């Protein structure tokens, strides 16, 4: 038996023990979950709470275990003092609670990523264990001590991992995270962490592993959708979408910029000129004017008031509301007041007010052009949501009595009638109109009649019945003869305001954010710590920040701790050296870890014909992409392919103000081979030696 086979057999034994233990845990978990469901049948409130807690915990545990089928154990550390332990995607203990595998995120696992020959941290040997499913298929040892270590085997885990076949989705790098990457993954959660580095330095990987790390370190704070990861496009989020579930985490919100505003999924980008306009901070003013403008199709006269009078009234409403900090969607009462003043106190019918001052959604104010919003529209919709204000929340418009009922969970007819100002109830039915009791004066008889009408209204609206009459308070709080209502509808669930802010926000490809996009993210990160990941050399947005401090500031934060990733793991040396010619002055090229690589540059007469002869992924200027069945160059950010065929660089550069940066992005997508096909002369920068 070879030494490698012997060592593999040793590790296989450990892996088998871990899986056997997981099976036991899985069976226990399933039993727990079933027990939870059975108890739920009982129904009492206390039981429900218990059920929820149990089912939730059990289900989470199950999905944890299911997600970890592949390669749970991937590392081993042997220390100078003969201590040994295995590192895995999750921590597993045996029946006596002794650790079988240490979670890669635990402090004890840090030496696996941090130890170097110069600074071994007590580690004698670091071993990477490669599994396919439950079978150990390879080992790679690195000895970090001068004293001899037995049974050393190796095949270069990092290189092996880099040369593995590429799938349609990004795979995690948990077994080969490099030291500088690990420092970025484990940087403190608080404040702003800025992770910079050239193409292929592992920024995206670090960002995702960091999300998993934060969840592990402070689950109470970050679980349940409290971490947001923002990427540049839905193609990109789909590409990286499996990394976190593979690491056992599925509670992170992963969103593309075009996907951040609820109810809209935008994938198309506007051309640079339009993007420049839409991304500019001056849009805030434009959108504010739009939000207060007269909406289309609203009535344009009311009794003696014509369209001009109404337009003037609208301006007056805006003036008063802006002075008082009231948003358009909360301004109907002010609108009523202004109109009533113009009408010498005459009360404006509710129906008119609702039509003239409707509640607006951002989509009402900024309808889709040709049936579709662009990614650059999304921050505008989000801004409009802020400017318009939410249509008043149910909780806010509910009268106090109703809120009290919702809080207590009980709807008491007597309470309903006696303890509240009946005006509240009437307001629900006919806002802005005087109540029947008020209209009928103070005589008890007509008051009684009015109360009956009022009760009928409430019956219609709320499903109550009148079961008697008592002396209570009329709509104006005066004493009167009022109905006691019964048979209420069940009390609805109290609607808690949904907080859509996060505890931690991770932004990938952050160099590309326009000022308006920054505002959209900052709105979700007002109280959040942040991880900002990017490369200024790949900035293509016409309004991209010129420096990192500027971007941090745009995101509403002040300072950042910066970590730079200096080594590129994607692009091989030959291609990286060539691509560096497209880098703007002042940006240092990335040192490539991958040796070799193949580069071919061909001048051709017919692009379509030349493309048809090639194999690999074709990347073309956007205007040629469809004809050549190619991926538009604007869509490849963050992605990578084994063999890239890049078409007509001159057109890519000419298409937009930051065309050279766009070309740099395209040149740095290839993992093995890059073929450049061009009909027009190459951009001058590429021809420089
Ligand atoms: N430590 C590592 N071990 C194995 N593979 C790695 C490691 N670091 C990075 N890689 C691989 O290198 C490639 C580039 O990584 P990634 O996409 O995270 O880089 P990036 O810096 O985000 O690139 P870009 O700036 O182009 O978006 C990926 O295939 C990734 O899996």
**Tell me, what's the ipTM?**
0.99
Q: Which of 267, 289, 265, 286 is nearest to 277 (CA)?
A: 286
Q: Is residue 677 classed as helix, strand or coil in its secondary structure?
A: strand
d(Cα 577, Cα 408) in Å, to the nearest integer? Answer: 69
279 labelled ligand-binding: no
Residue with CA at minimum distance from ligand 1 atom 15: 202
Tell how far the Cα of 569 is from the centroid of ligand 1, in angstroms. 6
- 266 close to 374: Cβ distance less than 8 angstroms: yes
Tell how far the Cα of 244 is from the centroid of ligand 1, in angstroms. 15
198 labelled ligand-binding: yes
Strand pairing category for 227-231 and 504-507: parallel
pLDDT, tens digit (0-9, with 9 covering 90-100), for 83-141: 999 998 888 888 787 888 898 988 899 999 999 888 899 999 999 998 888 889 888 89
pLDDT, tens digit (0-9, with 9 covering 90-100), for 545-585: 999 999 999 999 999 999 999 999 999 999 999 999 999 88
Query: What residues are paired with 140 via a beta bridge?
Result: 128
Q: What is the pTM of this model?
A: 0.79
Whether 203 lines ligand 1, by a CB cut-off of 6 Å, is yes
Q: Which contiguous run of DSSP H or E holds residue 619?
A: strand 617-620
304 labelled ligand-binding: no
203 labelled ligand-binding: yes
d(Cα 551, Cα 372) in Å, to the nearest integer? Answer: 29
Query: What residues are paired with 447 via a beta bridge?
Result: none
Q: Which of 563, 456, 443, 481 is nearest to 192 (CA)?
A: 563
Average pLDDT score over residue span 242-256: 84
Tell how far the Cα of 505 is from the centroid of ligand 1, in angstroms. 20
Tell how far the Cα of 204 is from the centroid of ligand 1, in angstroms. 7
Residue with CA at minimum distance from ligand 1 atom 26: 199
- 508 close to 229: Cβ distance less than 8 angstroms: yes
pLDDT, tens digit (0-9, with 9 covering 90-100), for 292-344: 999 988 888 888 889 999 999 999 999 999 999 999 999 999 999 999 999 88
d(Cα 72, Cα 91) in Å, to the nearest integer? Answer: 9
pLDDT, tens digit (0-9, with 9 covering 90-100), for 195-207: 999 999 999 999 9
Tell how far the Cα of 205 is from the centroid of ligand 1, in angstroms. 6
Neighbours of 523 (CB within 10 A): 17
Report the side by side order of strands in the sheet with 192-197: 253-256, 227-231, 504-507, 529-534, 192-197, 561-565
Distance from the Cα of residue 135 to its chain's centroid: 36
200 labelled ligand-binding: yes
d(Cα 233, Cα 635) in Å, to the nearest integer? Answer: 8
Whether 531 lines ligand 1, by a CB cut-off of 6 Å, is no
d(Cα 632, Cα 645) in Å, to the nearest integer? Answer: 12
pLDDT, tens digit (0-9, with 9 covering 90-100), for 101-112: 898 988 899 999
Q: What percent of the chain has pLDDT over 70?
A: 76
Residue with CA at minimum distance from ligand 1 atom 8: 202
- 227 close to 501: Cβ distance less than 8 angstroms: no
Which of 204, 244, 568, 597 is the best mutation target for the ligand 1 pocket, counting ligand atoms within 8 Å of the beta carbon and taking the most? 204
Q: What phi and psi, each to the nearest 5 degrees, are found at residue 673? A: -140, 140
- 669 close to 619: Cβ distance less than 8 angstroms: yes
Q: Is residue 323 classed as helix, strand or coil in its secondary structure?
A: helix
Whether 661 lines ligand 1, by a CB cut-off of 6 Å, is no
Average pLDDT score over residue span 402-422: 41
Q: Is residue 261 classed as helix, strand or coil in its secondary structure?
A: coil
Neighbours of 6 (CB within 10 A): 11
Q: How far is CA 267 from CA 232, 507, 520, 588, 657, in A?
A: 10, 18, 17, 32, 21
Query: What residues are paired with 471 via a beta bridge?
Result: 481
Give Rg (Cα) of the chain: 33
Which of 140, 161, 200, 638 is the best mutation target for the ligand 1 pocket, counting ligand atoms within 8 Å of the beta carbon and taking the most? 200
- 573 close to 213: Cβ distance less than 8 angstroms: no
Average pLDDT score over residue span 612-621: 96
Tell how far the Cα of 190 is from the centroid of ligand 1, in angstroms. 25
d(Cα 327, Cα 472) in Å, to the nearest integer? Answer: 37
Tell how far the Cα of 576 is from the centroid of ligand 1, in angstroms. 14
Burial 323-357, CB ≥16 within 10 A → b, else e: eeebbbbbbbebbbebbeebbeeeebebebbeebb
Which of 130, 183, 194, 205 is the best mutation target for the ligand 1 pocket, counting ligand atoms within 8 Å of the beta carbon and taking the most? 205
Comparison of pLDDT for 13 and 400, the residue scoring more: 13
Tell how far the Cα of 437 is from the centroid of ligand 1, in angstroms. 73
């Amino acid at each position: 038996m070879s030494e490698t086979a012997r060592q593999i057999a040793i590790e296989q034994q450990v892996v088998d023990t871990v899986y056997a233990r997981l099976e036991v845990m899985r069976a226990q978990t399933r039993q727990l979950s079933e027990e939870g469901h059975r108890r739920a049948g009982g129904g009492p409130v206390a039981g429900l709470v218990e059920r929820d807690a149990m089912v939730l915990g059990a289900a989470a545990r199950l999905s944890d275990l299911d997600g970890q089928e592949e390669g749970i154990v991937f590392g081993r550390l042997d220390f100078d003092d003969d201590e040994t332990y295995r590192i895995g995607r999750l921590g597993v203990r045996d029946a006596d609670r002794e650790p079988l595998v240490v979670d890669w995120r635990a402090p004890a696992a840090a030496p696996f990523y941090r130890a170097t020959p110069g600074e071994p941290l007590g580690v004698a040997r670091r071993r990477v264990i490669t599994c396919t499913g439950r079978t150990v298929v390879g080992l790679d040892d690195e000895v970090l001590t001068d004293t001899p270590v037995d049974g050393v085997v190796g095949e270069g885990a990092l290189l092996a991992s880099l040369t593995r076949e590429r799938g349609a989705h990004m795979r995690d790098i948990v077994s080969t995270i490099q030291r500088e990457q690990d420092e970025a993954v484990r940087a403190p959660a608080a404040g702003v962490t800025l992770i910079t580095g050239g193409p292929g330095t592992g920024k995206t990987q670090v960002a995702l592993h960091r999300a998993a790390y934060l969840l592990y370190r402070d689950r109470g704070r970050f679980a349940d959708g409290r971490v947001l990861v923002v990427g540049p496009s839905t193609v990109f989020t789909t590409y990286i979408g499996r990394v976190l579930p593979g690491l056992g985490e599925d509670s992170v919100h992963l969103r593309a910029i075009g996907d951040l505003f609820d109810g809209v999924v935008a994938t198309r980008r506007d051309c640079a000129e339009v993007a420049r306009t839409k991304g500019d901070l001056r849009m805030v003013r434009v959108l504010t004017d739009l939000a207060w403008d007269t909406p289309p199709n609203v009535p344009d006269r009311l009794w003696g008031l014509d369209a001009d009078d109404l337009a003037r009234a609208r301006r007056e409403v805006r003036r008063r509301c802006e002075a008082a900090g009231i948003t358009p969607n909360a301004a109907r009462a002010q609108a009523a007041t202004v109109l009533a003043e113009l009408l010498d106190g005459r009360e404006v019918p509710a129906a008119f007010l609702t039509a003239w001052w409707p509640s607006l959604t951002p989509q009402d104010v900024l309808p889709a052009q040709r049936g579709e919003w662009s990614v650059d529209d999304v921050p505008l919709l989000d801004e409009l949501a802020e400017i318009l204000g939410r249509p008043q929340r149910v909780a806010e418009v509910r009268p106090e009595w109703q809120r009290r009922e919702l809080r207590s969970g009980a709807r008491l007819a007597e309470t309903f009638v006696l303890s509240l100002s009946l005006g509240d109830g009437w307001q629900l039915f006919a806002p802005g109109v005087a109540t029947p009791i008020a209209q009928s004066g103070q005589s008890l008889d007509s008051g009684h009649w009015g109360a009956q009408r009022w009760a009928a209204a409430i019956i219609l609206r709320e499903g109550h019945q009148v079961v008697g009459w008592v002396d209570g308070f009329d709509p104006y709080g005066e004493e009167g003869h009022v109905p006691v209502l019964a048979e209420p509808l069940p009390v609805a669930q109290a609607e808690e305001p949904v907080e859509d802010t996060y505890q931690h926000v991770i932004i990938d490809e952050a160099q590309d954010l326009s000022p308006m996009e920054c505002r959209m993210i900052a709105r979700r990160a007002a109280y959040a710590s942040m991880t900002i990941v990017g490369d200024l050399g790949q900035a293509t947005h016409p309004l991209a920040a010129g420096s990192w401090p500027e971007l941090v500031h745009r995101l509403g934060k002040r300072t950042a701790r910066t970590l730079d990733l200096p080594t590129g793991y994607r692009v091989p040396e030959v291609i990286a050296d060539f691509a560096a010619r497209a880098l703007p002055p002042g940006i240092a090229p990335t040192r490539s870890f991958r040796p070799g690589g193949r580069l071919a540059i061909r001048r051709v007469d017919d692009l379509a014909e030349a493309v048809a002869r090639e194999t690999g992924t074709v990347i073309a200027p956007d205007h040629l992409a469809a004809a050549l069945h190619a991926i538009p160059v604007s869509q490849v950010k963050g992605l990578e392919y084994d063999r890239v065929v890049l078409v007509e660089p001159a057109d890519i550069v000419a298409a937009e103000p930051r065309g050279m940066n766009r070309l740099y992005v395209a040149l740095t997508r290839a993992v093995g081979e890059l073929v450049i096909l061009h009909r027009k002369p190459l951009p001058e920068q590429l021809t420089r030696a």
